[in-house]
Structure 1
Amino acid sequence: MSPADALAMLDRQIAENGQTVTLQHDGVSYPLRAFVRGYSPREIGNGIQQGDSKVVLSPTELAAAGFPADEAPERLDTLVISGRVRNVEYATPVELGDAVVRYDLLVRG
């Protein structure tokens, strides 16, 4: 699968099944769609706590929201999810080849 194919597949899934969140980065708010899910009990540990959530962001959604192209989500950014402000603890880019095809975030709060 090419990076473009993987990104297109993610974008379709987020459009169909994602939810609207607001990423706050460097004092600027970026509304976009993302996957948000809780961690299962067996995933708790190794830095993951009960109540944490995994958020998947698409580079396409970030660009469409006006997020700076030369930056990435990072620790201490915040996400507003269903009206609740949550802190980004980890922001991990996932690459396929040399292209970032998604960002996996661990959010808390």
Structure 2
Amino acid sequence: MSKGVELIAVERLRQTTEEGWTAEHDRQHTGEDLTMAAACYAMPEALRSASDFIHRFWPWEMRWWKPTPDSRVRELVKAGALIAAEIDRLIAKENRT
């Protein structure tokens, strides 16, 4: 497994065990919220700062926006974990239908 994939897996585990964002919780996010949050973290900081991107596209209350501007890797790991959560949500949804 690559280091990037490993970091994303560790972050996703942290999100579920420490934050409580379980698969059951993720099922509530049906409007591409997880994808939009991932896009916000994946957007380069210079572009986020130069526009109103975060305020326009962050899907939840601003208190949940936790950028890590001093670590691009950390922000991309957060984005990857959110994408993984969305993929899992979609696969689970397909399996229920």
Q: TM-score, normalization: structure 1? A: 0.31
* Greater RCO, CA 8 A, separation 6+: 2
User: As a proportion of its length, which structure holds more helix?
Assistant: 2
User: As a proportion of its length, which structure holds more strand?
Assistant: 1
